Structure 1
Amino acid sequence: MRRVGVDVGGTKCLAVCVDGDLQVVAEARRPTPKGPEAIIDTIAELVGELAPFDSIGVGVPGLVTMDGTLRAAPNLVDIREFRVGALLTERLGVDVHVDNDATCAAVAEWKRGVARGSDDFVMVTLGTGIGGGVVAGGRLVRGANGFTGEIGHMVVDPGGPPCPCGRRGCWERYASGSGLGRLARDAAVAHRLARVVEIAGNVEDVRGEQLAVAAREGDLEALEVFDQFGRWVALGLVNLTNILDPGLLVLGGGLAASADLSSGPIRRWFAELLYAPELRPHPRLEFAEMGERAGAIGAALLPVVHSL
């Protein structure tokens, strides 16, 4: 059995072919082009490079309906009501399964990664924004419309900063990579984080990367911002736990690279904020292990998990 998965990102498209043991046996990549027709052409080219295959899945960023239509994608230009599944099925002559990219990453961790063997877990991808995937009772949760997992737009502060989605105080304004950068710049504007500003060159260029450098040097003000960031991450995780009661929480995305700085604060604040912590088992908190191929590997497995 050879299954092909394609992860369509804002800058690149990565395709992999996995065998019956879920091992990657081939891969190919291309820059992500602009416009729906060019994206379909690119996916078809990638899939052709990895032939022969028995099934195809595609992961895309944004709201994906049950029939594989991408309603909107913040990081893809001129994309609205993009019938990814139908267009690729017609083009390739094979039924193509489509889902959200963070959901695909969750599938990869479930079937091959840190969540293997878990029937109830939540995957949270912390990158420029926040995405997620939910498995409950041994099945991928898709919801009534296919939109389960848009957890970054859970409102945690109604009076908070504006989000590109048009609302205020979304979780990803605080707990994403861009959120970490904003927390750092706010601290720098308040005449803190002198070492971080020195590394960045000026306040406007302060980002999470410079904050991490200073924190690893032992800078107390930088570590304090990571503690603040950990509280915001934990707040969202607690809300998800109170609603879904998972046995495992998996953190992935680009911010997993700073796990050495964020793990301690996240775990500490989670234990403090969790409802009735003395009456319930705490879910395990683990960091994802599948890396940049997670979305493509999970996409390859969509035909399997969509049928469960």
Structure 2
Amino acid sequence: MAGKALTLTSSARAVFKHLAFEGASTRPQIGAALDLSRPTMSAAVTELEKLDLVKTIGVVSGTTGRKAAKYRVGRGAGHVIAVDAGSTHVRLRVSTLDRRLLLSRTYRLSENQVMLSEDISRAVAGEVAAALAETNEEWGPLRTFGIALPSRVVSSPGDVVSTGQNRIFSHFTPPEDVDILLENNVNCAAVAEHLHGAALGTSTFAYIQIGFKIGMGLMLSGHLIRGRNGAAGEIGHLPYPVGPSMQPIAGEVERYLGTEAFMARVQSNWNDGNTLAPGDTAQLLYLAADGNEEAIRHVARHAADIGAVVAACVSVVDPGLVVLGGGYGSSPLLAPRVQQVASQLSYPVEIVSSPLGSEATVLGIEKLAIDSSLAKLVG
């Protein structure tokens, strides 16, 4: 399916990459962006057309009345499958190398998964099988299969036993002859925020996910930081609790801040006799947005706890910008209080809510899968 790397002239390679990164463009637009002469552009397009790497999709009239052909990436470039193998949902996107969406699927797991599990692997197997059954020959060859995992991820020859990353293959067997790319889910979300979201144009920032679990993706000077053991950003393992006669417990801060424990506290300490305690965070946020004082109190209390963890991260890496994401964390109701507490406890930092919400992770692994495909296809 994936095929071998292609040998292209430098001008053809530049034109193809421009179309992949910038989307459909006219010949004059591409030539101006790449500073290519008309003969060079013509030769490059002809070279790419012979390989079905570009496709003419129409003709555009300019201001002077002259017409120009418009191109986009062709079927010969192929497509990728990106999967967010999450703790609560499995999300899947099939996309071209210029990020045109071909197919999208979402599956809700019957139970939330604390760790990467066989249930997640089964769900991924089912969703991928359904996607492959809908494959259209116009999509071209499948180049890369990217999977975002709720676990640490290391590359070979790293210790894949301790990360547990290969559990994804307990019930899921990827298609043969296709490159497989694994990445931590929160790292993927950070990539998406850098490309599409609140960190667009920002080279240094932290993405902090607050949902069923918590985690951080860290980008410094445009580089995603993974760490030697794939554990950079694993803020769920910050020492907690800390104090006299207290013994820190591994992963306890994640359990405390995660939405299950949070909602248990909300329900056991709900003091509004006129309104039933919310059953989940969506209901809690709805009540808070509607002005319910008890809901506002609980959201503010939790936001202060999140702010303390953000302050710890800011004290270590000073990212300047922190994007709050995840199913719960992306709510704009949290950001002001998190900002207040984090700034009081550490250094000045801008706190913003993710505009991508629950789609951030799958968009990030899609980006990484496309980048990998482009590198192997044309260098």
Provide TM-score, normalisation by structure 2: 0.62
SS for the counterpart of 2:81 is: strand
Larger Rg: 2
Alignment equivalent of 1:108, drawn from 160, 174, 192: 192
Q: Distance in 2 between matches of 1:4 and 1:167?
A: 38
Count the aligned residue pairs.
280
What's the offset of the Cα at 1:40?
6.3
- Segments of 5+ residues of structure 1 without an aligned counterpart are 74-78
Alignment equivalent of 2:359, drawn from 275, 293, 306: 293
Q: Distance in 2 between matches of 1:226 and 1:107?
A: 28
Alignment equivalent of 2:311, drawn from 238, 253, 278: 238
Change over 3 Å in CA distance of 1:117–1:82 after alignment to 2: same
Q: Which amino acid aligns with 1:111?
A: L
Change over 3 Å in CA distance of 1:270–1:299 after alignment to 2: same
Cα pair 1:119 1:135 within 8 Å, conserved: yes
Alignment equivalent of 2:253, drawn from 153, 171, 174: 171
Which residue does 1:127 correspond to in 2? Answer: 211
Question: Within 5 A, what are the aligned runs for 1:1-308?
Answer: 1=77, 2-30=79-107, 34=118, 38=122, 41-42=125-126, 44-46=128-130, 48=132, 49-50=134-135, 52=140, 53-67=142-156, 81-82=166-167, 84=169, 91-158=175-242, 167=249, 170-188=252-270, 192-195=271-274, 198-200=275-277, 207-256=280-329, 258-260=331-333, 262-274=334-346, 277=347, 282-303=348-369, 304=371
Larger mean CA deviation between 104-113 and 16-25 belongs to: 16-25
What's the offset of the Cα at 1:253?
0.9
- Segments of 5+ residues of structure 2 without an aligned counterpart are 1-76, 111-117
Q: Distance in 2 between matches of 1:64 and 1:149?
A: 12
Q: Distance in 2 between matches of 1:16 and 1:169?
A: 31
Provide TM-score, normalisation by structure 1: 0.75
Q: What is the RMSD of the two structures over their aligned residues, measured on CA atoms?
A: 3.6
Change over 3 Å in CA distance of 1:45–1:10 after alignment to 2: same
Q: Distance in 2 between matches of 1:35 and 1:88?
A: 14
Larger mean CA deviation between 135-144 and 49-58 belongs to: 49-58
Q: Distance in 2 between matches of 1:194 and 1:72?
A: 48
Cα pair 2:121 2:167 within 8 Å, conserved: no
SS for the counterpart of 1:146 is: coil
Query: Which contiguous aligned blocks of 4+ residues in structure 1 show a shift greater than 4 angstroms?
Result: 29-37, 68-73
Change over 3 Å in CA distance of 1:18–1:8 after alignment to 2: same
Q: Which amino acid aligns with 1:284?
A: E
Q: Which has the higher contact order (CA 8 A, sep 6+)?
A: 1
Cα pair 1:127 1:254 within 8 Å, conserved: yes
Q: Distance in 2 between matches of 1:29 and 1:219?
A: 32
